[in-house]
Structure 1
Amino acid sequence: MTETDQKARAASEGGGRLRRNLAILNARLKRRRIPALLPDAYPRTRLVLAGGLLAVIVITLSLFSLDSGAPGWSEALSPLTEGVFQFITQFGKSGWYLVPVGIFGLVLLFADWTRIGRSAAAAWVEVADLVGFFFFNMAAAGIVTNLIKWTLGRSRPLRFKKDGIFTFEPISFAHEHVSFPSGHATTAAALFVSCAYIFRGQPVVVGVIGVCAGLMAVSRVAVGAHFPSDVVAGVFVGAAFTVFYAYALGRSGVAFQRQPDGSLMPKTVAIRTMFRREGAATMVEELWAALRGARRG
């Protein structure tokens, strides 16, 4: 077999793996695995609705009490403080997360999980589910925010002296008229809530990510890119979308398992079992075998 034939065969096999894995994922997403909810679960629904009402109240209060003073506060920051926030705000760009996670997700989709042990395959499927949740959640939350931005067309703080805080240019794509909500704040909130679900039971990890996400959100006001109400709205969009998406996946048992009390648990049993019995090195070796399409060893 020539080198060209080998490449063609590899490409054909890779395409077959991708189609097979996508078909399996589609079938899993169509399943419905919803446990009967305990009576204590229903107050959680009211808490979600109360959270939405609270967001509306905070956005309104920010609009009328904080927004007008935000540009002046931003301009009064020292050069050092401004430089720190300029550095922090860069990490609110969704590309920092979407590109590497998206590439990793594609790699997993092209693997042949029938070629490795069942324990390793189950662990990597759990990883792939969580990776897919994280990627699509971040991407979709950002799209929702952009649609709102373009529809409302609120002027940014850079036009504060001319436009004030209540100027809108509906259906606008211009940078100076896409202030509400903050896209960086949406990314920060989606990042934090996603990780809070994925790393449930690990408060240190979740806490560190929460502090970083909070600084990202505040940085948008500090660098003069958004008003406080923009940031609050962005946080709400990112957090709310993540919650609804996670629960939607939980209905099918993909990435999360919905509990009788209404909460969600990340599906990581196979991952933890594999790490405990075999270790991270074996996980990587099994992944490489799945990508090569040949049994490890």
Structure 2
Amino acid sequence: MNDDSIRPAAPPIVGRQSLWGRLSRRYAARRSLHVRIPWVGYAFTSINIVAIAFFVFDAPLGAAAKGLPARLVRFAGEVTDVGRLVSILVAVCAVLIVGLLLTRRLSKLQRRFRVAYFIRATVYVAISVISASIAVHILKYAIGRARPPLFDAVGIFHLEPFNGDFLYQSFPSAHATHIGAFFAALALLFPRFRLVFAGLGLWLGVTRIIVGVHYPSDVAAGLALGVWFAFATAFIFSRFGLLFSLAHNGTPTPRRTLANS
């Protein structure tokens, strides 16, 4: 008899497939709870807000931007770069590192769940902001709207699609998009502080108008786009039972325990 016939079967190979296998099982187990992302109502509301800003506020504020107090403009210039993609990602990584360091004082079991939570939350925020950033930069380049410094020369309606110049990349605001995605993600993770995050997001978005590089409609569109990506990413995470579950009204809410996630 061949020795190969009596050898025990080789253990299954575990690796990347085991991760995808677990995610697939999570997805399949929650398939009955899946709901469609309510993009139609959100898009309709956002388009109307952007249109109102465009037709009502852009021209007056575009003309008045040069007359704002120098101290206000200087202050806005000092804080507006919080909305840069690099700044947000650095802040997210810093929070992750601090969070992981704080878990060293917990018990082994608590530390395990806390580490899992911090990693998942970091991945969620990063995906929300990065995906929104990719979308907004494509739109800015394709639309080619003139920025407020060109208001006297071309007004608010001038477009030069695919121009690529900084002065023709006004709509939507990338800073506002990053800010919208970041603070909406935080509001979904920590709903108790959602009003604080909403206020911070709005004020940081407005700094783009104060420093004179965007119109109100640019900022409104950017914030709406960022918020949308944060919500859409949360919906996707909820379908795998990661970080979020769906409330009765279909909105993503933080899961109550990590032990069940």
Which bracket does the TM-score occupy, shorter chain normalised?
0.7 to 0.9
What is the one-letter code of the residue matched to 2:74? Answer: G
Q: Which residue of 1 aligns with 2:69?
A: 78
Q: Which residue of 2 aligns with 1:169?
A: 160
Instruction: Say whether residues 1:184 and 2:175 are aligned partners.
Output: yes
Q: Deviations over 1:69-119 (max 9, x none)?
A: 22222211111111222123121212112124347769999xxxxxx9344
Q: Which residue of 2 aligns with 1:212?
A: 200
Counterpart Cα distance in 1 of 2:128 and 2:176? 14
Instruction: Say whether residues 1:253 and 2:241 are aligned partners.
Output: yes
Normalization by structure 2: what TM-score? 0.80
Q: Deviations over 1:175-234 (max 9, x none)?
A: 11110000111112112210111102x2xx333222221111111111111011111110
Q: Which residue of 2 aligns with 1:50?
A: 41
Residues 91-240 of structure 1: pairs in structure 2 closer than 5 A: 91-102=82-93, 117-200=108-191, 202=192, 205-240=193-228
Counterpart Cα distance in 2 of 1:240 and 1:159? 30
CA contact (8 A) 1:35 1:258 kept: no
What is the one-letter code of the residue matched to 1:133? Answer: Y
Counterpart Cα distance in 1 of 2:223 and 2:152? 26
**Cα pair distance change 1:83/1:52, threshold 3 Å:** same
How much has 1:268 moved relative to structure 2?
A: 5.6
Counterpart Cα distance in 1 of 2:217 and 2:51? 7
Counterpart Cα distance in 2 of 1:257 and 1:68? 43
What is the one-letter code of the residue matched to 1:151? Answer: A
Of the candidates 27, 30, 33, which is equivalent to residue 34 of structure 1? 30
Counterpart Cα distance in 2 of 1:53 and 1:118? 46
Counterpart Cα distance in 2 of 1:23 and 1:208? 41
Q: Secondary structure at the match of 1:253?
A: coil
More divergent stretch after superposition (24-33 vs 56-65): 24-33
Counterpart Cα distance in 1 of 2:217 and 2:19? 39
Q: What stretches of structure 1 of length at least 5 have no aligned partner?
A: 1-18, 110-115, 272-297
How much has 1:235 moved relative to structure 2?
A: 1.1
Q: Secondary structure at the match of 1:226?
A: coil
**Cα pair distance change 1:70/1:236, threshold 3 Å:** same
Percentage of identical aligned residues: 24
Counterpart Cα distance in 2 of 1:106 and 1:267? 22
Counterpart Cα distance in 2 of 1:73 and 1:211? 24
CA contact (8 A) 1:119 1:270 kept: no
User: What's the RMSD between the two structures over aligned residues?
Assistant: 3.0
CA contact (8 A) 1:126 1:268 kept: no
Q: What stretches of structure 2 of length at least 5 have no aligned partner?
A: 1-13, 101-106
What is the one-letter code of the residue matched to 1:52? Answer: A
Structure with higher RCO (Cα < 8 A, 6+ apart) = 1
Normalization by structure 1: what TM-score? 0.71
CA contact (8 A) 1:82 1:222 kept: yes
How much has 1:23 moved relative to structure 2?
A: 6.1
Q: Which residue of 1 aligns with 2:104?
A: none
Q: Secondary structure at the match of 2:157?
A: coil
Q: Secondary structure at the match of 1:154?
A: coil
Give the number of aligned pairs.
238
Counterpart Cα distance in 2 of 1:229 and 1:76? 20
Residues 9-28 of structure 1: pairs in structure 2 closer than 5 A: 26-28=20-22
Counterpart Cα distance in 2 of 1:80 and 1:68? 23
Q: Which residue of 2 aligns with 1:286?
A: none
